[in-house]
């Protein structure tokens, strides 16, 4: 197994060699294929990669929301270090429908999706939806839960929060719905918030407001955040550390500043060169050639080799492993291995 980011008291979540596959009739989709990752307490981790790299399957694995069949966690650990650090639970071993997992889902780890309409129930008012979750996790009366819902709507700076309590999802704009989702997610004081492309469906101004809001709320609530995005601008605005994912694996991991200024992996360099990034001077935009391959075939070497401008013979033959090549900076690439 490749070396891991060191686990300290400051670690809240540690993913070890996680594999989540989908077993289809004619093929096996290796969506998450040996992911190693750690998330610090009160830290924000950015998870980036092109569409189809396995980011959502990874987050759904952590939430134990992978549809099964055909999906299955076939290997690895998802260790959640409880608040007082004295207890650790391997989420990968829990029954997805069991009481423990239901307590964790929403109560300790909450998720915000790209499209809030999919997660909000069109038939319930905003107030009742938040109250229901609070009642379930915090054993409050309906009245107290509604008070908590109002408090949360105020916290996410939604306009006319009292009025929103009685409105239905379709009456709100996209940006407001995303604020409601964040209110819902944070209503039970989770220790981890996973935000999967939370602003992708929103226009640029609203995007920026939502990201600012999440930054502010993190200070307030003290949660750790995993922000998933294909947008490197979002990551630079939010994250303390960044993990770059390619075809089911983490290929680079570093502090955000370091990653932006000293990217090592050719895939990361390609991502940075393909979008305008604030603060990067003299940028020549150049898309990465080719596409993410389907995760159905077993690739003997580096999965990025067919698209990599630096590919060598060994790259097509043997898989590079994720390892630290500078202090706190890990990458999986043969360019940084001594032959």
Interaction site with ligand ADP (CB under 6 A): 22, 29, 31, 49, 51-57, 67, 70-71, 294-295
Alpha helices (H) along the chain: 55-62, 99-107, 116-119, 126-138, 142-155, 161-164, 174-186, 204-221, 232-238, 256-261, 266-274, 313-317
Give the nearest distance from C-beta 28 to ligand ADP in angstroms.
Answer: 10
Total residues at interface with ligand SF4 (CB under 6 A):
14
Select 217 or 332, whichever has its Cβ closest to ligand SF4.
332
Question: Taking CB under 6 A as the rule, does residue 305 contact ligand SF4?
Answer: yes
Q: Which residue has the tokens 């391959």?
A: 293
Question: Taking CB under 6 A as the rule, does residue 318 contact ligand SF4?
Answer: no
Instruction: With contacts defined by CB under 6 A, name the span among 163-171, 176-184, 220-228, 301-309 that binds ligand SF4.
Output: 301-309
> Which residues between 241 and 270 bind ligand SF4 (CB under 6 A)?
265-266
Identify whether the C-beta of residue 303 lies closer than 8 Å to the C-beta of residue 249: yes
Contacting residues for 232 by C-beta, under 8 A, at least 6 apart: 48, 271, 272, 275, 277
How many helices (H) and strands (E) the chain has is answered by 12, 12
Give the nearest distance from C-beta 251 to Mg ion in angstroms.
Answer: 17
Contacting residues for 139 by C-beta, under 8 A, at least 6 apart: none
Identify whether the C-beta of residue 241 lies closer than 8 Å to the C-beta of residue 253: yes
Select 161 or 270, whichever has its Cβ closest to ligand SF4.
270
* Partner whose footprint covers residue 53, from ligand SF4, ligand ADP, Mg ion, none (CB < 5 to 8 Å by kind): ligand ADP
Q: Where are the beta strands (DSSP E) in 212-265?
A: 224-229, 241-246, 249-255
Give the nearest distance from C-beta 32 to Mg ion in angstroms.
Answer: 12
Q: Which residue has the tokens 């704009």?
A: 173
> Which residues between 18 and 77 bind Mg ion (CB under 5 A)?
55-56
Give the tokens for residue 233: 């601008």
Identify whether the C-beta of residue 227 lies closer than 8 Å to the C-beta of residue 238: yes
Instruction: With contacts defined by CB under 6 A, name the span among 35-43, 71-79, 144-152, 305-313 that binds ligand SF4.
Output: 305-313
| CB atoms closer than 10 angstroms to residue 63 | 20
Select 56 or 128, whichever has its Cβ closest to ligand ADP.
56
Find the binder of ligand SF4 among 311, 323, 324, 329 (CB under 6 A).
Answer: 311
Residues contributing to the site for Mg ion (CB under 5 A): 55-56
Residues contributing to the site for ligand SF4 (CB under 6 A): 265-266, 302, 304-305, 308, 310-312, 315, 320, 333-335
């Amino acid at each position: 197994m490749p070396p891991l980011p060191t686990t300290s008291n400051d670690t809240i979540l540690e993913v070890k060699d996680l594999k989540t596959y989908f077993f289809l009739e004619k093929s096996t989709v290796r969506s998450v294929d040996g992911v190693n990752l750690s998330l610090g307490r009160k830290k924000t981790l950015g998870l980036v990669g092109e569409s189809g790299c396995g980011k959502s399957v990874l987050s759904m694995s952590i939430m134990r929301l992978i549809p099964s069949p055909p999906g299955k966690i076939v290997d690895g650990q998802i260790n959640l270090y409880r608040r007082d650090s004295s207890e650790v639970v391997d989420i990968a071993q829990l029954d997805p429908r069991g009481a423990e997992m239901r307590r964790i889902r929403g109560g300790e780890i909450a998720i915000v999706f790209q499209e809030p309409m999919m997660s909000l129930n069109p038939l319930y008012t905003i107030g009742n939806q938040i109250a229901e979750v609070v009642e379930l996790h915090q054993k409050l009366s309906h009245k107290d839960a509604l008070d908590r819902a109002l408090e949360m709507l105020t916290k996410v700076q939604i306009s006319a929060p009292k009025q929103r309590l009685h409105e239905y999802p379709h009456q709100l704009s996209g940006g407001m719905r995303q604020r409601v989702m964040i209110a819902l997610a944070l209503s039970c004081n989770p220790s981890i918030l996973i935000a999967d492309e939370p602003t992708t469906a929103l226009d640029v101004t609203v995007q920026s407001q939502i990201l600012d809001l999440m930054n502010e709320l993190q200070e307030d609530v003290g949660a750790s955040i995993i922000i998933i995005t294909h947008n490197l601008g979002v990551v630079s605005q939010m994250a303390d550390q960044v993990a770059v994912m390619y075809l089911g694996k983490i290929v680079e991991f570093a502090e955000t500043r370091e990653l932006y200024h000293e990217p090592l992996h050719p895939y990361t360099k390609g991502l940075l060169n393909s979008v305008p990034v604030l603060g990067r001077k003299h940028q020549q935009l150049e898309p990465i050639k080719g596409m993410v391959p389907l995760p159905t075939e077993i690739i003997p070497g580096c999965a990025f080799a067919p698209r990599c401008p630096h590919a060598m013979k060994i790259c097509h033959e043997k898989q590079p492993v994720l390892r630290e090549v500078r202090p706190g900076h890990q990458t999986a690439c043969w360019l940084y291995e001594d032959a």
